Copies of this chain bind each other. A is one copy, B any other.
Amino acid sequence: MADPVDPTGWTCPLPLRDHHQVVLGHGGGGVLSSELIEHLFLPAFGTTDTARAPADSAVLDVAGARLAFSTDSYVVRPLFFPGGSIGELAVHGTINDLACAGAVPVALSAGFILEEGLELAVLGRVAQAMGRAAAAAGVRLATGDTKVVERGLADGLYVNTSGIGLVPAEVDIRPERARPGDRVIVSGPVGEHGVAVLSVRDGLEFGGEVRSDTTALHGLVAAVLAAAPGVHALRDPTRGGLATALCEIAAASGTGIEFAERAVPVPPAVEAACGFLGLDPLHVANEGKLVAFVADADADAALAAMRAHPAGRDAAVIGTVTAEHPGVVVGRTAFGGTRIVDRPLGEQLPRIC
């Protein structure tokens, strides 16, 4: 019979480094992910405004309200790790994407893809983790869907959460609003989530003293916004770590960023694990941290508000937004030198969330 595939064909418009196939790096949140979005998804979806900065949430005007809308699929391996599971991650991650648009999260959806043969007890524990995380965050799991695929065609379970939230009228938090003079504040130590997951990954177990930092950040965001109206941009540095978050904000806002590497809090156990694994802690995923870009006049108030909140106790100012070298992030090293900090090309740590 005739091939049911669209006979008009499709010509790949991607730079894509000579790939004609999907590679793990396309899911890594780095350069390859951006190319896929810019050259494949946005043109296909008819989004001609490719200059629009990619944000973790869309903000839509709906019936007079400003609605944030976000989606993320979770494929972390293994499903359970020190400090949490795919369940907490799926709830916190989407809440945090909403929070980084300045939104108050309202409801989440949960879409499961299950592998035939998955133990119901595993699914039950994941669902309970989601329920507990949502209840603790005061966000409703409002609607869901379950599909099952044959044995071997999923890795136990994958889950998508999408979320909606309300952006207060006076709030305007966007990546492109970072501006020269803004102070860069990180809400706590980096690298814990990625190291925690790797510490229990098959073939790599190295002892579990680092726990994932997975947590919901909307309470912290609300506290900071109340204390410091001069917050311009927020980002949760997940895939690709703090370095990627800084690079994305620099690119979106057309500014440069300078930061002191020594000022970035890195727990000794994360530092040690990264040395052992050959990883840069700045590229390791976090699931409960925030980077805030705040007008200089409001920076002290923002820092104090973070430190007064349980999720931001170890917050630190790490750098400044500059008018020089737009789009480029520069780290000052402990020895007084500087280095350009870049996004990873692809996936330094596959399936970390």
Contacts and interface: CB of A to CB of B under 8 A. Distances in A.
Contacts of A19: 120
Q: Mostly helix, strand, loop or mixed at chain A's interface?
A: mixed
A38 interface: no
Interface residues of A, number: 102
A135 to B, nearest CB: 5
Interface in A284-310: none
Nearest to A12: B120
Interface stretch (A107-115, A261-269, A272-280, A322-330): A107-115
Given A26-B114, A36-B146, A10 B121 contact: yes
Interface string A98-121: 000000001101111111111111
A53 interface: no
Interface stretch (A79-87, A177-185, A220-228): A79-87
B144 A41 contact: yes
A15 to B, nearest CB: 12
Of the candidates A5, A118, A134, the one having the most CB atoms from chain B within 10 angstroms of its own CB is A5
A73 B145 contact: yes
Copies of this chain present in the complex amount to: 2
A6 interface: yes
A124 B65 CA distance: 34
A143 interface: yes
Nearest to A63: B65
Nearest to A66: B63
Contacts of A131: 44-46
A148 B154 CA distance: 12
A155 B149 contact: yes
Contacts of A16: 120
A350 interface: yes
A169 B19 CA distance: 50
A176 interface: no
Contacts of A27: 114, 146-149
Contacts of A47: 141
A171 interface: no
Interface in A178-214: 200, 205, 207-208
Given A120-B19, A120-B21, A2 B146 contact: no
A73 B113 CA distance: 7
Interface in A26-64: 26-28, 33, 36-37, 40-41, 44-47, 57-58, 60, 62-64
Interface stretch (A156-164, A252-260, A336-344): A156-164
Contact of A142 (B33, B41, B58, B111): B58
A245 B219 CA distance: 41
22 contacts: A1-B205, A4-B80, A5-B125, A10-B124, A12-B120, A21-B117, A22-B120, A24-B148, A37-B144, A40-B120, A40-B124, A41-B146, A46-B131, A47-B141, A58-B107, A62-B65, A69-B107, A69-B142, A71-B109, A72-B111, A73-B145, A150-B350
Given A22-B116, A153-B154, 18 more contacts: A4-B81, A4-B82, A5-B125, A21-B116, A22-B148, A23-B148, A27-B114, A41-B127, A60-B140, A62-B106, A70-B109, A71-B109, A73-B145, A109-B162, A149-B351, A153-B153, A160-B160, A164-B164
